[in-house]
Every structure is written in structure tokens, then in C-alpha cells.
Homo-oligomer: A and B are copies of this chain.
Amino acid sequence: MASSHGCSPLFSCSSCLLMRIPPSSSTAHLDYPCCLWDRMGTRDYNPKQMAIREKVFNIIISCFKRHGAETIDSPVFELKETLTGKYGEDSKLIYDLKDQGGELLSLRYDLTVPFARYLAMNKITNIKRYHIAKVYRRDNPAMTRGRYREFYQCDFDIAGQYDAMIPDAECLKIVYEILNELDLGDFRIKVNDRRILDGMFAVCGVPDEKFRTICSTVDKLDKMAWEDVKKEMVNEKGLSEDVADRIGEYVSMQGGQDLAERLLQDPKLSQNKQACAGLTDMKLLFSYLELFQVTDKVVFDLSLARGLDYYTGVIYEAILSQTIPALVSTPAEQNGADEAGVSVGSVAGGGRYDGLVGMFDPKGRKVPCVGVSIGIERIFSIMEQKASSEKVRTTETQVLVASAQKNLLEERLKLTNALWNEGIKAEVLYKKNPKLLSQLQHCEETGIPLVAILGEQELKDGVVKLRNVVSREEVDVPRADLVDEIKKRTL
């Protein structure tokens, strides 16, 4: 019996999550049930998805290049110890390689730690680079929300000792440009500063050793109501109600430069050195954002915390305003209440991490860094959905070399070869005597705009019949003019 969501009859998909593929010998046939991807948390990209991916990457890379960035690449695995102690509680999500002799290795978890390792290893003290590559997390996959175990990150970082907030402002400008150009609807970029958070925790009476764990709890405010966050602070993290309420007042605050100015006058915060440094920088940041004309989308939001340990200053996160309907529902997710239209949530995030490079340098030499990571998988999900009803071309072929008559394979191959040699993107069907209809159908299916038709008469006349696939118009073109004519028509 075939299962309800299209699995092979060999497998009972009602128990999808427990099911195992039977062990196979080298000659046994493997079968891939539909739910395998759900379990593995990875996916293939088909040609249509790749065409969309290429478009998205082109927009992002153009932006990075417009801002003068170079690019680097690093291996997919790092020494296990390189990743140790960089990701807080999330370290359990790191994929390890099996110990087959030699160094212990893990798949990279992000591109930031490899970047810091690269800088320290090569003693680089300033660079502006982007890096687009896949990273790996053994997280619970949620494919409908574009959350995979293997996913792309697009990182842009500026390393170097510079005057305050100038590179930080450029990172925000980049997020703004990319989200605008991708045309994903309205968005907001929340900004905060780890020093402001720490100062706030201090003046609210949070003990020093609880800063990081309370920070993690505050970070949940984008998914949980304040009441629940407060409960976690009090019941699980052991804060007093008083302290939690004081935090609650601060984290409800949102604004711009004005809020930074107001908080610099706050009787408690103004007494805290860390907070003052953060707030002064926040003011300066907004003055640069004003010059960069992006303040309409940027909000100083005291509830933004971000999970990672390594941030030391400004942090930010971009959120799309729209929700997307679930693409495919997995049984596990169907239980979720919010799955009819899930919020795509954060599509970019980053911040300043001035201490990370020093962790990899034998002498602890610091290289200040600030950067941003674009959450490209969620963006792919949205773009794919937008394109789901559209026809997307997956090849760039300009012309198909065809014939209506038999025994012209050699002539077709000769002409195709000549076109390739002249730089024309050309195809020919791999059949001795294909029907004209199937040649035209191939063009219609794949969007090839032109057909170059050869026949005995055309060969005799030294011409090629050039057909426009859409209009069905045909015109005889002298062989010598063919390349120019194709170029002209497929500009």
C-alpha cells in the first residue's frame, strides 16, 4: 500500500521517524522514501531551484563587491578543538567526523569561527571579505521554514582597528541593500549592543555569572511573550521577581538615536560604564546610518540579545514583515499551531566580535571584527514559493540546431560545432533522425528561443532557416550571417 504522502510501497510512512532503510549490499537496490530528507535535514537542489539560487547569489555577491570585499574559502571541516567553546549551549549541534586516524575533525558550524582562525593563522590584521559556503548543524530540521541541517551562509565581515562604528554602519547598510534588492517585502533591522545588555543586567541586579544565561532567555522574546520569558528567568534561572521586572521595563523599549540619548540620561544606566560606552556608540552608529539613509528600517531594540557567546559590541538582526504559508507539512510540524502561515523570522544577523581572533592567536593578539550573515535558506524558500507557478529557465541555450529531414545528423553536428566555436550557446538532439515536432517541443519545454533548421534545400542555398519559437516566424539567413543574427535576436 502506498502511503499517504507518496512514499514507496516498501515503507510504512506512518512511522516515518522511526523507519530505517534496510541494509543493502553493493548490488541491492536502495530506495529513498520521501521522508528521508526530512530526517536527514538536507536536500538536493533541482535545476529550477539552482536557477533561483544563482539569481539570489548574484544579487548578494554584487552587493559585497560594490562594497569592496574580497572573498576567501576554507575547508568544510575544521579541527574539532577549533570549534570547541565557541557556541555555548549549541555546541551539541556540531557534526563530528568519525575518528579514522589523524586529527579529530568536525564540520564547520558557521563561517565566523573559520574566519577568525584564518586571520590568526595567517596573521592578518585587516581585511574586508565575504564567504559564501555551506555550514552544518544537527538541529531539528524544519524544512517549511527553510531550516536545514546543511545550509548556506553568506557572510560579510570587516576586520581591523578602525574608528568606532564606521564599519558597523556599513554592515547594516549592506543588509539594507540586499533585502531591498531581493524584493522580499517590508523588513526591519533591530540593533542593540552587548555592553548595553550587560550594563542593563548589572543595574537590574543580575549576578555577573548569570549574564550569559539571562541573555539567552531575553533572546527568546521574539518567539515568546514577556510573561513566559519572565517565568523562565524566575523559575529556571533563579532571578527574583523584582529583578526580572526591572529587566522587563528595559527590554520593552524601542527607538532610534533619541532612545540612546534618553538612556544616557537614565539615572541607573548612566552610572554603568559598559552601558554608557554602548549607548554612546549607538548614538554615533545612528548618525552614520542617517548618512547612509537607512534609518527608516533600523530600530534600537533593547530586547535583541542573540545567542552566540562571541559578540562583544553592537549586535543586529533583520526580520521580514511577511509570513509565508508552509510549503510542505511534515507530520511533526502539523502539530504546531502556527504552521498555516509561519513567520519567516530572522533573515540576517550579526554583530561585533572583538575577542574571537585573539582566541586563536598564540600571543592572544586581538583583531577587532564586525560582520553580518545573510540567512539565505529562508530567502530561497520565499523566492522558490514566489516562483512556484512561474516558468523559470534552467539553461541559457540560444538556439537548437534541427532538421525536418532524415540523414542530416552530420550536417546538424557540423553546424552546432561551428556555433559553439563562435561562442553561441547551442544544442542539438542526440538522435540520428529526430522528428521536427520533438525538436520544437524541446525548445518550448526549455525556453530555447530560436531554432536553426537545416534541409537539403537550405544546404544547397547556403542558408539556414531561423525560426522564432514563440512567434513561429521563419526566415532564411545566409550561413555567413547566422552568428550575428542569433546574437542580435538573443541579446
Q: Which residues of A contact B (CB under 8 A)?
A: 8, 10, 21, 23-27, 29-32, 36, 39-40, 42-47, 50-51, 53-54, 65-77, 79, 81-82, 84-86, 95-100, 102-103, 105, 107, 117-118, 120-122, 127, 129, 134, 136, 138, 150, 158, 160, 162-163, 166-167, 169-170, 173, 177, 288, 291-293, 359-364, 394-397, 409-410, 413-414, 417, 420-421, 423-427, 430-432, 446
Residues of the B chain whose Cβ atoms lie less than 8 Å from the Cβ of A293: 417, 421
The closest CB in chain B to the CB of A309 belongs to B26
Bound complex: CA of A82 vs CA of B30, how far in Å? 7
Lowest 6 A-B CB distances belong to which pairs?
Answer: A26-B85, A162-B430, A47-B70, A42-B75, A68-B427, A45-B73
Bound complex: CA of A198 vs CA of B275, how far in Å? 78
Q: Is the CB of A362 within 8 A of B31?
A: yes
Q: Is the CB of B66 within 8 A of A163?
A: no
Q: Is the CB of A362 within 8 A of B29?
A: yes
Q: Is the CB of A75 within 8 A of B162?
A: no
Choice from B10, B71, B97, B160 contacting A362 with Cβ under 8 Å: B10
Q: Tell me whether A158 and B121 are in contact in the complex, defined as CB-CB below 8 angstroms, given that A71-B50, A97-B97 are known contacts.
A: no
Q: Is the CB of B23 within 8 A of A81?
A: yes
Q: Is the CB of B431 within 8 A of A163?
A: yes
| Given A21-B81, A30-B81, A177-B420, 18 new contacts (CB under 8 A) | A29-B361, A30-B82, A30-B359, A30-B360, A36-B103, A40-B75, A42-B75, A44-B75, A47-B129, A50-B73, A66-B420, A68-B426, A76-B136, A76-B150, A96-B98, A97-B107, A162-B431, A166-B409
Q: Is the CB of B96 within 8 A of A173?
A: no
Residues of the B chain whose Cβ atoms lie less than 8 Å from the Cβ of A47: 70-72, 127, 129
Q: Tell me whether A70 and B40 are in contact in the complex, defined as CB-CB below 8 angstroms, given that A82-B30, A292-B413 are known contacts.
A: no
Bound complex: CA of A430 vs CA of B126, how far in Å? 11
Q: Tell me whether A430 and B67 are in contact in the complex, defined as CB-CB below 8 angstroms, given that A21-B81, A30-B117 are known contacts.
A: no
Residues of the B chain whose Cβ atoms lie less than 8 Å from the Cβ of A414: 291
Task: Give the Cβ gap from A432 to chain B, nearest Cβ, in Å.
Answer: 5
Q: Could you list 18 A-B pairs, sorted by A, with CB under 8 Å?
A: A29-B362, A29-B363, A30-B362, A32-B360, A40-B75, A40-B102, A43-B75, A47-B127, A50-B70, A66-B423, A69-B395, A71-B394, A76-B136, A96-B100, A160-B430, A166-B431, A169-B413, A173-B420
Choice from B26, B65, B99, B134 contacting A395 with Cβ under 8 Å: B65
Residues of the B chain whose Cβ atoms lie less than 8 Å from the Cβ of A413: 166, 169, 288, 291-292
Q: Is the CB of B291 within 8 A of A410?
A: yes
Bound complex: CA of A427 vs CA of B427, how far in Å? 43
Q: Is the CB of A26 within 8 A of B84?
A: yes
Task: Give the Cβ gap from A161 to chain B, nearest Cβ, in Å.
Answer: 9
Residues of the B chain whose Cβ atoms lie less than 8 Å from the Cβ of A26: 84-86, 359
Q: Is the CB of A103 within 8 A of B426?
A: no
The closest CB in chain B to the CB of A46 belongs to B72
Residues of the B chain whose Cβ atoms lie less than 8 Å from the Cβ of A31: 362
